Amino acid sequence: MTEIVIHGSSFYNEDCIAGCQAHIPDASVDLIVTDPPYGIKGDTLHKHYNRNEAFVIDGYIEVPATAYGDFSRRWIAEAARILRPNGALYLVSGYTQLYHILDALRATELVEVNHLIWKYNFGVFTRTKYVSSHYHVLYYEKPGPGKRTFNLACRYGLQESAPGGGSLNYRDREDVWLINREYKPAQVKNKNALPTELLVKMLQYSSCEGDLICDPFMGGFSTARVALGLNRRFVGFELSSAAFEQGVALIQALTPGELLEQVRQPQKGRLSHQGHTWSETEISAVYQRYDKLRVEGVTKKAAFEILSAEFGRGRWALERILRRRGGTP
């Protein structure tokens, strides 16, 4: 096991299951963002097992398909243990082993918040079937007495409207994310690296500066780089020594907080529909949406924030309209 501390964050060249058990206390992590090995190489891996029962490909350690269910249950149980109450997990997975991941998540106390789809460019080209061009992102929460961090207007102000109409904030929070993979010719990179834009979005919505972020499968250290770049703290694991050494060099070269000035800031200003006359259609859409949100268990305050984002109206205007049908909203 090697532990390296850089910029106050800890990086372990170690199996994440044993590593979490040894180094990470219960309920100590605010957010986990991770992309576990895919387990897609079928059963032929047994020919190549080393003593870790793993297969090394260019600094990437794969898990055999036959071991994937057990492996998922063990690392996801650790993830659930180290998350603090109301902490969250983003788990990126392909389709092939998704059922194992879902089974493992259901065996924990974690609860689903959203099932997101990350749609990317450069899908796997096919001639006889559709092109595969998405990943699943499972966004889960550890139940707790407080509120999960969700920074509603961290990227787009509630009043910001798109050029053709509609709320930018609403669009940014739809559950299908179109984010391109990064193309970095002539640069050393982990071939499975998650794009910075994807990670920035997860971290902006679901964490605050100073929070502790964990990635049990660091690969090219993308989560770590974004976490430190956004002034979060970090702890993570990578089993491959080759990937670990490359990643450590990248972390040593960065300056904490360096991404903060590059990320989009929400614009403040007038709401898109503020001052516009209400149409009957809009009023009935507001009623329906509000009722649906409340039935789903959304708090009154959060429901107004959502309505404001979706309809481009201020809270008081929305309350006034809802009061018109009688009673207090």
In the complex, the residues that contact ligand SAM under the rule CB under 6 A are 15-16, 35, 37, 60-61, 63, 190, 192-194, 216-217, 219-220, 222, 237-240, 243
What's the token pair of residue 158?
């509630």
Q: How far is the CB of 54 from ligand SAM (least distance, A)?
A: 6
Nearer to ligand SAM, 15 or 211 (CB): 15
Decide the pairing of beta strands 111-124 and 132-141: antiparallel
Q: How far is the CB of 134 from ligand SAM (least distance, A)?
A: 16
Q: How far is the CB of 247 from ligand SAM (least distance, A)?
A: 8
Nearer to ligand SAM, 194 or 309 (CB): 194
Cβ neighbours around 145 below 10 Å, total: 6
In this structure, what DSSP letter does residue 177 have?
A: E
Nearer to ligand SAM, 216 or 314 (CB): 216
Nearer to ligand SAM, 225 or 313 (CB): 225
Angle between helical axes of 280-295 and 300-311 (0-180°, round to 10)? 140
Q: How far is the CB of 28 from ligand SAM (least distance, A)?
A: 18
Q: Tell me the residue nearest to ligand SAM as measured from the CB.
A: 219
Q: Which residue in 201, 112, 78, 84 sits closest to 150, CA to CA?
A: 201
Q: How far is the CB of 150 from ligand SAM (least distance, A)?
A: 22
Nearer to ligand SAM, 60 or 68 (CB): 60
Q: At 116, which helix (H) or strand (E)?
A: strand 111-124
Distance CA 85, CA 142 (A): 5
CB 93 within 8 A of CB 128: no
Nearer to ligand SAM, 193 or 214 (CB): 193
CB 55 within 8 A of CB 61: yes
What's the one-letter identity of residue 74?
Answer: R
Nearer to ligand SAM, 3 or 291 (CB): 3
Q: How far is the CB of 189 from ligand SAM (least distance, A)?
A: 8
CB 243 within 8 A of CB 131: no
Which residues, in sequence order, are CB contacts of 29 under 8 Å at separation 6+? 82, 83, 84, 87, 212, 213, 214, 235
CB 96 within 8 A of CB 38: yes
In this structure, what DSSP letter does residue 136 have?
A: E
Q: How far is the CB of 276 from ligand SAM (least distance, A)?
A: 44
Distance CA 299, CA 301 (A): 5
Nearer to ligand SAM, 62 or 319 (CB): 62
Task: Say which residue the tokens 């509603």 belong to.
Answer: 152
Q: How far is the CB of 47 from ligand SAM (least distance, A)?
A: 18
Q: How far is the CB of 285 from ligand SAM (least distance, A)?
A: 40
Q: Which residue in 151, 157, 188 sits closest to 266, CA to CA?
A: 157
Nearer to ligand SAM, 32 or 306 (CB): 32
Distance CA 235, CA 310 (A): 37
